[in-house]
Amino acid sequence: VQLQASGGGLVQDGGSLRLSCAASGRAFRSYATAWFRQAPGKDREFVAALSRNSAGTFYADFVKGRFTISRDSAKNTVYLQMNSLKPEDTAVYYCAADPSIILTSIRLPHQYDYWGQGTLVTVSS
């Protein structure tokens, strides 16, 4: 599987963006897919995930109620809709996927075998 992340940009405090993670491979819908982010000088952190076959969604506490992860199987794409953005959301956002990850590991970046290249989100105050 190859992943291509896009949709980042510059937005004002309180604004919205939608990130896309387009994948190659027909089996992508059966992969667990997640978004992580990494701000300058910080570790990569979990943002949101869809379990295999979109059976469940998982969110970091700091994005609950603001971000939504979803999948369009026909387009082989996973989205991250980000609303009410804050300056502290500024980071490079990465999508990741794995065909065999277990739910207890879904928030752990080192459990994912496939990664997109990252897309920069900048939220100005």
Q: Would you state the pLDDT for residue 14?
A: 97
pLDDT of residue 22: 97
Whether residue 26 is predicted with pLDDT greater than 80 in this model: the reply is no
Over residues 38-59, the pLDDT tens digits come to 999 999 999 999 998 888 999 9
Spatial CB neighbours of 106, under 8 Å, sequence gap ≥ 6 = 32, 34, 49, 51, 58
pLDDT on residue 100: 92
Give the tens place of pLDDT for each residue, 64-93.
899 999 999 899 999 999 999 999 999 999
Mean pLDDT over 8-26 rounds to 95
When pLDDT is averaged across residues 86-107 and rounded to a whole number, the result is 95
For residue 32, the model assigns a pLDDT of: 95
Question: What confidence score (pLDDT) does residue 90 get?
Answer: 98
